[in-house]
Amino acid sequence: MTLFTDLNLSQPLLDALAAEGYAAPTPIQTQAIPHVLAGKDLLGIAQTGTGKTAAFALPMLQRLAANPANRKPMTCRALILSPTRELATQISESFRSYGRNLKLSVLTVFGGVGHVPQAKALRAGVDILVATPGRLLDHMREDNIRFDHVEIFVLDEADQMLDMGFIHDIRKVVARLPRKRQSLFFSATMPGEIGKLAGDLLHEPERVQVTPVATTVELIRQRVEFMYPAEKNAALAEALRSPEMTRSLVFTRTKHGADKVVRFLEREGIAAAAIHGNKSQNQRERALSMFKSGDIRVLVATDIAARGIDIDAVSHVVNYHLPNIPESYVHRIGRTARAGASGVAISFCDNEERAYLRDIEKLIRRPIDAEDRRGKIVANSADIAAPESTDLTRGELRRQQGPRPQHKAGGRPGNKPANKPGQRPQHAKGGKPGGHHGHGKPAQGHGKPHAGRPGGGKPHRGQGGGGNGNGGGNRPMMPTEPYRPRGDGDLGSMPMMRPVRLPE
């Protein structure tokens, strides 16, 4: 096994790594660090979660520190471009933490925050500048910064830059860089346009590649739950009440959808925050720090906001909406398998999303185990989501589920008063919404059987019968046994899982 001491890193960096608690380099670090230390250009195919930030930050810090230069006004020695503010912040934090024993300055520049303090800091000059393209161009136009002293240039998450329409901005920045420089280029995927950009930017690069996009997913226990759109809220609340879901990242397709989910969860007494492009920088930072500190266990995010966010110990990723871009699925679920940890990904799939699911399965080259829960999730009265597709309407769903259960009054988290006639039912103490477990009725007893659907007649474990009236019949969302992939990488060994293929 390679150790950090085998990589010719200087003592101040080794000390910082020891303080971080990193035992050994990750594969991308082992491969990339020697090339970057040697001053070579690098093309890195790696996604976040592989340790790629340290793979470039460590050797860059070493090279910059080995050749101290007086700080000149309006210049930087290293420029790192990142697609999102969150990723820029994380990269800066990594540089600061790995470079804690060195005397190099780090500045982060992105939009959504005050312009003037950034302009002032840029004019003073900085060693390492981490920026998002838009705001950097503003500063460039205002002559707050020049790039003629850049020694090392890094383009991180290049494919995301392309998706976000930053390619032209990047080319404008690159046009101002000195020809003699070291360039490092990282991307999780290599679509044609990104390959061309890499070809234009890099000079005789070394190429390193780790965990192609389709294989990181092997660490993650994945399941799909088929349901009607109107059932998603209740299913989410039910899932989040599981004690196993210690830190969950919930993905929605739209910003509006993220806000709606947060409002619903708050009504359910589940503290959550949303993070997306319409939130101010302060709101985003606050949401992230509450999530990191454990003040909230649920963060609801859109793809772009969550891309590159580095949060340790995310236990579950929930795809409230399946992404329409299959690669986003891999990026999303990768949040729960940081630096080799394993995690769980649950995807709620309605009828209209089944085409997305097929694309995802094609990309990851395996079927995802699925369970058909359509019509089986007892929605929690008014909290039920408005249907978002042509699947069952709210009324149809209610009719299918039959009369709502009458619960004992009081005792629900949040302690709402007992019901008066005509009011929404309250749940018995400790009971989950949709807690028909306590009534001893089989789940299927409420609705019409789904003719011809595999598994449609069997109650799910823990659902239906066996309720004890105190809501204790919680069906574990995920198997409690540790997951051991079979030698052939087949996920079919997951307990309780059975592939379900719905009729087209």
Rule CB under 6 A: is residue 335 a binding residue for ligand AMP? no
Nearer to ligand AMP, 238 or 310 (CB): 310
From 49-57, 114-122, 134-142, 346-354, give the range in contact with ligand AMP by CB under 6 A: 49-57
Q: Which residues contact 33 (CB under 8 A, 6 or more apart)?
A: 7, 9, 25, 55, 58, 59
Q: Which of 48, 160, 187, 302 binds ligand AMP (CB under 6 A)?
A: 48
Q: Which of 53, 89, 160, 252 binds ligand AMP (CB under 6 A)?
A: 53
Task: Work out the angle at residue 17's Cα, subtended by the Cα atoms of residues 11 and 18, and round it to the nearest 5 degrees.
Answer: 90
Phi-psi region of 387 (alpha: psi -120 to 50; beta: other; left: phi over 0): beta
**Contact pattern from residue 311 through residue 330 relative to ligand AMP, giving x for each residue in contact according to CB under 6 A and a dash for the rest:** -x------------------
Rule CB under 6 A: is residue 52 a binding residue for ligand AMP? yes
Nearer to ligand AMP, 110 or 228 (CB): 110
By CB under 6 A, how many residues form the interface with ligand AMP?
Answer: 15
Instruction: List phi, psi (to 5°) of 255.
Output: -65, -45
Q: What minimum distance in Å lies between the beta carbon of 55 and ligand AMP?
A: 7
> CA torsion, points 157, 160, 161, 164, in degrees to nearest 10?
-160
Rule CB under 6 A: is residue 160 a binding residue for ligand AMP? no
Count of alpha carbons within 13 angstroms of residue 127, beta-carbon side: 21
Rule CB under 6 A: is residue 471 a binding residue for ligand AMP? no
From 44-52, 73-81, 106-114, 479-487, give the range in contact with ligand AMP by CB under 6 A: 44-52
Give the whole-angstrom CA distance, residue 76 versus residue 67. Answer: 14
Q: Which residues contact 28 (CB under 8 A, 6 or more apart)?
A: 44, 46, 50, 51, 52, 55, 208, 210
**Contact pattern from residue 2 through residue 41 relative to ligand AMP, giving x for each residue in contact according to CB under 6 A and a dash for the rest:** --------------------x--xx--x------------
Binders of ligand AMP among 336-365, rule CB under 6 A? 338-339
Q: What minimum distance in Å lies between the beta carbon of 310 and ligand AMP?
A: 4
Rule CB under 6 A: is residue 211 a binding residue for ligand AMP? no
Give the whole-angstrom CA distance, residue 42 versus residue 32. Answer: 8
Residue 60's nearest CA partner among 81, 85, 84, 77 is 77
Rule CB under 6 A: is residue 49 a binding residue for ligand AMP? yes
Residue 491's nearest CA partner among 317, 370, 369 is 369
Residue 232's nearest CA partner among 474, 394, 370, 473 is 394
Q: What minimum distance in Å lies between the beta carbon of 22 and ligand AMP?
A: 4
What's the one-letter identity of residue 22? Y
Q: Which residues bind ligand AMP (CB under 6 A)?
A: 22, 25-26, 29, 48-54, 310, 312, 338-339
